[in-house]
Structure 1
Amino acid sequence: MGRWEPNASGRLARAALELYLERGFEQVTVAEIAKRAGLTERTFFRHYADKREVLFAGSGQLQELLVGAADAAPGSAAPIDVVAAALLAVSAEFQERHEFARQRQAVIAANAELQERELSKLAALSAALTQALRRRGVAEPGASLAAETGVAVFKVAFERWISADDEQEFAHYIRESLGELRVVAAGA
């Protein structure tokens, strides 16, 4: 591919993921990613701060979508229902990227540094969701509890979705996990 071809960011992400899966995250350099994508290192750094960010580049958009959906929930909705609506809105964004999500998670699971980065990004999601709930008038500790619970539901549903051999949508696992949470919370 020539350097003038479109979607440099996507090409870099695909090249990085391929290399990470082939050789492991630690063994891959930015130069190798750029070369595989048919681009320069300079182009890589225009799109990503470092080779880790290739795997986490969408976290800002994910946070915006999550918060936007929470903000758009009906004013009368209970905090957990606001969180559920936000999670279901986010799940739609993942649906077309099922195989990428599986591969990305395999790379992250094989590297402690990436696992730490993933937890940091999830903590940022929780903090943003907590703030959205506070803006809706949810007092503490309710806002934090609902947000943290939502992130836990997201993590459980995501793991189940990427591990599943069926064709169920991510939203199915979100709903199922929320249902399990309600059963556990009810003491049943």
Structure 2
Amino acid sequence: MFRSYARLALFALGLLVGVQVPGFIEDYSQRVDAHRSESEQGLQGFRETAKRFFSGDLDALVSHYRASNDAVMQSDAQSVAFLVDRAALLDDEYRAMQGPWYRQVWHLTTAADPALLEETYAAYRYQVLLAPDAIAWGIACALLLAWLLEALVLGIAWLLGGASATRTRAAERRHWR
């Protein structure tokens, strides 16, 4: 009886964890989009300067700043280069989060920007969404978690010899009926 309740609790835990996945993906996507928009606004003036003097090439603008004899311009070159690199990173993250759900999950688990991921974790509020994708994630995670733990427990029991004893008792009960 306890085992049945443990399975139900485990299934419920998997369900609650699984319904968080679509919400977290959405929060991360929105955070990336917000940072990307802010980054574009910060680069707007530099983009106009690069467009006017360097055919829109921001790298050429940064190179020009670095080559300048003026210490202020050289210092600004580092700042502008950081802004350009950050905008490129955010653009890559934005494109990665525009793909299908499985690519988004793969990106989040393997290649997401650690700072943005940490920022999303820190601000994430657990929620139970009743959207079809959240329900599907919940059921899939619940079944997977329940199956993995059941397999782990049965594997440990088998290794310790409990499986043969259980089979023997079950066989004895069948034969004595």
**What is the TM-score normalised by the length of structure 2?**
0.25
The structure with the greater share of residues assigned to helix is 2
TM-score, structure 1 length as denominator? 0.24
Larger radius of gyration between Structure 1 and Structure 2 = 2
**Bigger relative contact order (CA 8 A; separation at least 6):** 2
